[in-house]
């Protein structure tokens, strides 16, 4: 199966070949014919008779890797010693660890970091719990919480299998924003139990990042935790996607010279991400959004069992349009997909307004093949890294949490999300902006600090920041 996001996989093949029977060019030709791309060669040993080499090969998926291995096995004089998946090697023992900030080398060191000296610090916090922010890791720590029910494009794979993703999320927090994050994968799908567990562990953390929890439970979990905790709670699958989508759309509209309040938007996939995307677009000024699910457009004349759809019908589709995606997309300026592969057809795109904008974000296969859409679309964005304009949550959550932690915000509110979206969009300058560059790279060093500052300013403006002053200076690097 192809990897999510269109990412290639690398394998390292250690093989021995006899010099008088086969040449390396024969081996390279066999790998290329099987569809592999050699990206690295290391000589392990060599003699007059044979050579041992590690050959690192990039392939599309596991099926292609198997074809490459079989092709090599058929070559006379070649012996495969070992095959290693570099991604698996990177995960051995996990990807993160904890480190001490202070060395413990003497008895005096021990007495200060632990008993008896630590007792005075504990007493100070007991007398004033606010001091936990200055005297413990709380001020810079985020819990990445998942139950493993909606992981990437893999679905309900459970808490154990979700750990590599949550570890990766913790790595991104640290690498991009200096936030100490820790994966918390819960072996329960019970909504109330998840809420109570997160509340119970909250004293150790300055924020909660909910991740890969299936809808509709994710709505209730986030809502309750936001109400019952005094630290930021952020479901990245909903709001991270929404923030980056809005950032990209703001810049795409500059290219086609259209305004938020004038456009017609059709959005497919009325789940966690779809509802969040809709709400942030409405908050930003969009007036005409039509949500479409597998049964057609969501409209006010229907009674829906799903209470979130019932609410959705009341705030969208002002003209109360009915019918399929193909019916309601006529005249639309923007298509947004957070749904399923291949549901948007070329014929549908042709019905859209001039200079159509398409955000096809289903992973690993978008709602429409970008190459099919290209002749008819002015601006195209996907969730994939192998096409321009990737809508990637990494642009959002590190900076948002960095800002929220730095000003000790009680919550991450709508104004902070809007500010983050505008900040991300602002990183792309007028000189840089074009149809294939509406959103900055996740590795652009300006993104985290620009988002951080915008989030802090919005937090103070809306009264949710608890620090006396906006922090001086900025986060200075990865």
- Does 211 share its domain with 338? no
Residues 152, 53 within the same domain = no
Instruction: Tell me, yes or no, whether 103 lies in a domain.
Output: no
More confident residue, 280 or 91: 280
pLDDT of 10 reads 87
Of 114, 223, 350, 446, which residue is the catalytic one? 114
Is there a single domain that holds both residue 282 and residue 349? yes
Query: What's the pLDDT score for residue 363?
Result: 83
94 found inside a domain: no
Structure confidence at residue 89 as a pLDDT band (50, 70, 90):
confident
User: Same domain, yes or no, for 271 and 220?
Assistant: no
Q: What is the pTM of this model?
A: 0.86
For residues 54 and 41, is the Cβ–Cβ distance under 8 A?
Answer: yes
Nearest to 144 by CA among 398, 390, 452: 398
212 marked ligand binding residue? yes
Express each pLDDT in 329-371 by its tens digit: 999 999 999 999 999 999 999 999 999 999 999 988 899 999 9
Does residue 160 carry a catalytic annotation? no
Residue pLDDT, tens place only, 31-84: 999 999 998 898 898 888 989 999 999 888 888 899 999 999 999 999 999 988
- CA 458 → CA 130, 198, 268, 461, distances in Å? 22, 26, 30, 5
Q: Is residue 53 part of a domain?
A: yes
Q: Are residues 216 and 280 located together in one domain of the fold?
A: no
The domain total for the chain is: 3
Q: Name the residue range of residue 59's domain.
A: 7-88
Q: What is residue 233's predicted lDDT score, i.e. its pLDDT?
A: 98
Q: Tell which of 230, 256, 283 closes a domain.
A: 230
| Predicted confidence (pLDDT) at residue 230 exceeds the cutoff of 90 | yes
Kindly state whether residue 112 falls inside one of the protein's structural domains. Answer: no
Point out the catalytic residue in the list 138, 169, 417, 422: 169
148 and 47 part of one domain: no
Q: What is the pLDDT of residue 2?
A: 35
Per-residue pLDDT band at 4 (split at 50, 70, 90): very low
pLDDT at 398 exceeding the cut of 50: yes
> Is 237 marked as binding a ligand?
yes
305 has a pLDDT exceeding 60: yes
Shared-domain flag, residues 208 and 306: no
**363 annotated as belonging to a binding site for a ligand:** yes
Residues 163 and 185 in one domain: yes
Residue 327 counted as an annotated binding residue: no
> Is residue 93 situated within a structural domain?
no
Q: Is the pLDDT of residue 1 over 70?
A: no
Q: Are residues 368 and 306 in the same domain?
A: yes
What is the model's pLDDT at position 470? 58
At residue 8, the pLDDT reads 64
Domain of 292, CATH number, reads 3.40.50.720
Is 106 domain-assigned? no
Last residue of a domain, one of 230, 251, 285: 230
417 is catalytic: no
In a domain, 215, yes or no: yes
């Amino acid at each position: 199966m192809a990897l999510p996001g269109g990412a290639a996989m690398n394998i390292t093949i250690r093989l021995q070949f006899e010099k008088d029977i086969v040449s390396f060019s024969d081996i390279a030709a066999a790998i290329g014919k099987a569809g592999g791309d050699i990206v690295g060669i290391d000589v392990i040993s060599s003699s007059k008779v044979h050579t041992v080499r590690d050959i690192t090969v990039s392939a599309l998926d596991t099926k292609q890797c198997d074809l490459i291995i079989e092709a090599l096995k058929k070559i006379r004089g070649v012996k495969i010693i070992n095959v290693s998946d570099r991604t698996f090697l990177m995960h051995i023992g996990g990807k993160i660890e904890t480190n001490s900030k202070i060395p413990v080398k003497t008895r005096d060191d021990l007495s200060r970091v632990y008993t008896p000296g630590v007792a005075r610090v504990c007493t100070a916090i007991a007398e004033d719990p606010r001091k936990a922010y200055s005297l413990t890791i709380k001020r810079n720590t985020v819990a990445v919480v998942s139950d493993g029910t909606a992981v990437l494009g893999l679905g309900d794979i459970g808490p154990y299998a979700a750990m590599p993703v949550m570890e990766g999320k913790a790595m991104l927090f640290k690498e991009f924003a200096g936030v100490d994050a820790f994966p918390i994968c819960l072996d329960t799908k019970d909504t109330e139990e998840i809420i109570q567990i997160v509340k119970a562990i909250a004293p150790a953390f300055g924020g909660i990042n909910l991740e890969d929890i299936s809808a509709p439970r994710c709505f209730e979990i986030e809502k309750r935790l936001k109400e019952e905790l005094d630290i930021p709670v952020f479901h990245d699958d909903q709001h991270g996607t929404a923030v980056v989508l809005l950032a990209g759309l703001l810049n795409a509209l500059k290219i086609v010279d259209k305004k938020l309040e004038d456009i017609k938007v059709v959005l497919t996939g009325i789940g966690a991400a779809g509802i969040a995307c809709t709400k942030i677009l409405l908050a930003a000024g969009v007036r005409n959004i039509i949500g479409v699910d597998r049964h057609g457009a969501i409209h006010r004349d229907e009674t829906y069992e799903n209470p979130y759809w019932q609410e959705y019908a009341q705030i969208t589709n002002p003209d109360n349009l009915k019918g399929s995606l193909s019916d309601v997309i006529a005249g639309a300026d923007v298509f947004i997909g957070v749904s399923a592969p291949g549901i948007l057809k070329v014929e549908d795109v042709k019905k859209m307004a001039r200079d159509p904008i398409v955000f096809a974000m289903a992973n690993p296969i978008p709602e429409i093949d970008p190459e099919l859409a290209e002749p008819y679309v002015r601006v195209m964005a996907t969730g994939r890294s192998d096409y321009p304009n990737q809508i990637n949550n990494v642009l959002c959550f590190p900076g948002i949490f960095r800002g929220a932690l730095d000003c000790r915000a009680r919550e991450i509110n709508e104004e902070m999300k809007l500010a983050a979206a505008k900040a991300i969009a602002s990183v792309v300058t007028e000189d840089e902006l074009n149809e294939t560059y509406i959103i900055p790279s996740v590795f652009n060093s300006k993104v985290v600090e620009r988002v951080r500052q915008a989030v802090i300013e919005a937090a103070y403006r809306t009264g949710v920041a608890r620090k006396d002053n906006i922090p001086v200076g900025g986060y200075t690097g990865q």
